[in-house]
Copies of this chain bind each other. A is one copy, B any other.
């Protein structure tokens, strides 16, 4: 007969501490120093969290199920785990601390789930909306280095929502092709310009596990209207950022914590007239001027 016996532990919490020690000791054998550092820190914080809140088996099981369900919402153009990361502020935190920069350079913000590599190329000044619905917008500016000198031929990815708050990747990209998405090349003076349509405020995807989490916690699931940019220029650190519309009602409650005051800009409303590129507009349109100040690589 094997009778259950055990040592003189004071409590189940002492026993839990011993498990943490055993796990950390095991992971100290991780060969790669950077992976070892990451694993040991992650395990320490994960265990500290579970102990601090006295996580129950039922709550643990709920979480394991939630993670599996979250996996089911992933697919082309959508990684539901990124939405969780964004909604918990982790994405913005990582972007911020991973981008050392002088104070007057353009702030980075999160990439979001909708960036595509190999976006369609357009000439400067072209209309990139490709049939997407919305009020016309003319955007322009100059890409500069940290000393204010223009950066010739900078590559600029831009992508944004239509007036329903949707992106092309949410609407059967293979059938309909990309829209409100472009790769531009700045001219010899670092200047860029394009026509598109005004982005609008929109909520994070309304089906999935992240929206359930947000509904049960902050209740804030909207993003203020913005354009996404990725700017790349020779000798410069790539910049991923947004430009936000100062008239948005959600600037103080971005579901993914992406807003920085320096990234809020005036999308200027015009009731018809001549646009900056000389085009004569019959109806409403907007203009936006924004320069990007890059950080040396």
Contacts and interface: CB of A to CB of B under 8 A. Distances in A.
Interface in A47-93: 47-57, 59-60, 64-65, 67-68, 70-72, 74, 79, 81-82, 85, 88-93
Give this chain's copy count: 2
B19 A262 contact: no
A290 B2 CA distance: 6
Contacts of A51: 93, 97
A280 interface: no
B26 A98 contact: no
Interface residues of A, number: 98
A68 B79 contact: yes
A236 interface: no
A45 B38 CA distance: 13
A107 B3 CA distance: 11
Contacts of A37: 53
A164 B104 CA distance: 64
A105 B2 contact: no
Interface stretch (A9-17, A172-180, A186-194): A9-17
Contact of A218 (B6, B26, B60): B26
Given A5-B262, A26-B220, A47 B105 contact: no
Contacts of A56: 94, 98
Interface string A91-112: 1111111111101111100000
B30 A89 contact: no
A119 to B, nearest CB: 18
19 contacts: A2-B289, A4-B105, A4-B107, A8-B103, A12-B97, A12-B99, A12-B100, A22-B89, A26-B253, A30-B218, A31-B216, A37-B53, A47-B93, A50-B94, A55-B97, A60-B94, A64-B81, A67-B79, A71-B72
Q: Which 8 A-B pairs have the closest CB atoms?
A: A71-B71, A23-B89, A67-B81, A45-B45, A2-B265, A45-B49, A16-B97, A30-B217
